[in-house]
């Protein structure tokens, strides 16, 4: 099953009743946690909501200021979306590909992000941006900091869907050794506080097939940007 900008999405997962979250919590830093399987109860209503976003703002491969094309495809929803080009990294209220405002953030995505943040000690987190990345086998994300947001007191909430990935979680300097954290479908990573500017990334995705999403990983990253 493919999650793409112009492809209808149908699925049948977990039956009619949502699962009750019994996520295992793994701390990976002073203010950083992995919530294992936390997103699973939201998957059934979440996927068509993401598909609706992609119908309005399809995936695209953006170009960095250095002229490199990102291997992960990107879209966004919320009051603002993240974008990059030869002029730099920034948030914008308008999708540069369509000239239209980014799609509104679906309520189910907002609820999931707020629940995960509250679970890890950030009860007042209300995101205004959700970045949606698609990783096909071989795609990766180099070590970087999320620092384009205006107020860094708020955490980053990152949801993994589809095939597995290895998350790199480093220190406050690029040269610091990065911890490798295996992420599976439904896992959520939350980091903030003293960890907010830690370098992080994704190793190249290995070929695999997820029974629901096929040969891809979808990552939803929630932030308070403005």
Alpha helices in 4-153 (DSSP H): 43-56, 107-119
Position 139 pLDDT exceeds 80 = yes
- Cβ(199)–Cβ(145) below 8 Å: yes
For residue range 77-134, what is the model confidence (pLDDT) as tens digits? 999 999 999 888 999 999 999 999 999 999 999 999 999 999 999 999 999 999 999 9
d(C-alpha 118, C-alpha 138), whole Å = 33
3-state secondary structure the chain: CCCCCCCCCCCCCCCCCCCCCCCEEEEEECCEEEEECCCHHHHHHHHHHHHHHHHHCCCECCECCCCCECCCEEEEEECCEEEEECCEEEEECECCCCCCECCCCCHHHHHHHHHHHHHCCCCCCCCCEEEEEEECCCCCEEEECCCCCCCCCCCEEEEEEECCEEEEECCCCCCCCCEEEEECCCCEEEECHHHCCCCEEECCCCCCCECCCECCEEEEEEECCC
Q: What pLDDT, on the 0 to 100 scale, is given for residue 3?
A: 62
List the Cα angle 108/5/14 in 5-degree steps: 45
The pLDDT of residue 10: 30
pLDDT of residue 86: 87
Using the predicted structure, report yes or no on whether residue 1 has a pLDDT greater than 50: no
> How is the chain split into domains, by residue range?
24-223
Q: Are 18 and 41 in contact (CB under 8 A)?
A: yes
Which pTM value belongs to this model?
0.91
| Residues in CB range of 175: below 8 A, 6 or more apart | none
Q: Closest Cα partner for 18 from 149, 108, 104?
A: 108
pLDDT in tens, 11-68: 332 232 333 445 699 999 999 999 999 999 999 999 999 999 999 999 999 999 989 8
The whole-angstrom separation of Cα 221 and Cα 130 is: 5
The pLDDT, as a whole number, for residue 105 is 98
Percentage of the chain exceeding pLDDT 90 = 87
Give the residue with greater pLDDT, 130 vs 8: 130
Determine whether domain 24-223 maps to CATH 3.20.20.70: no
Q: What is the model's pLDDT at position 20?
A: 40
- For 189-226, write each residue's pLDDT tens digit: 999 999 999 999 999 999 999 999 999 999 999 999 99
């Amino acid at each position: 099953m493919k999650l793409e900008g112009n492809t209808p999405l149908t699925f049948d997962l977990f039956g009619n009743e949502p699962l009750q979250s019994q996520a295992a919590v793994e701390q990976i830093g002073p203010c950083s946690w992995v919530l294992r399987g936390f997103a699973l109860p939201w998957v059934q209503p979440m996927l068509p909501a993401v598909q609706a976003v992609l119908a309005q703002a399809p995936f695209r491969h953006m170009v960095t200021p250095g002229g490199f094309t990102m291997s992960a495809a990107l879209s966004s929803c919320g009051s603002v979306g993240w974008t990059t080009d030869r002029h730099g990294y920034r948030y914008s209220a308008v999708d540069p590909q369509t000239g239209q405002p980014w799609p509104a953030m679906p309520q189910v995505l907002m609820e999931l992000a707020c629940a995960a943040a509250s679970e890890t000690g950030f009860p007042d987190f209300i995101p205004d941006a959700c970045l949606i990345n698609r990783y096909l086998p071989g795609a990766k994300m180099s070590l970087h900091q999320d620092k384009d947001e205006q107020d860094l007191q708020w955490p980053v909430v990152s949801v993994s869907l589809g095939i597995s990935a290895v998350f790199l979680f480093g220190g406050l300097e690029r040269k610091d050794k990065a911890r490798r954290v295996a992420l599976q479908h439904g896992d959520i990573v939350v980091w903030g506080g003293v960890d907010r500017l830690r370098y992080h990334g994704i190793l190249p995705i290995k070929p695999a097939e997820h029974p629901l999403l096929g040969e891809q990983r979808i990552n939803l990253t929630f932030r308070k940007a403005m």
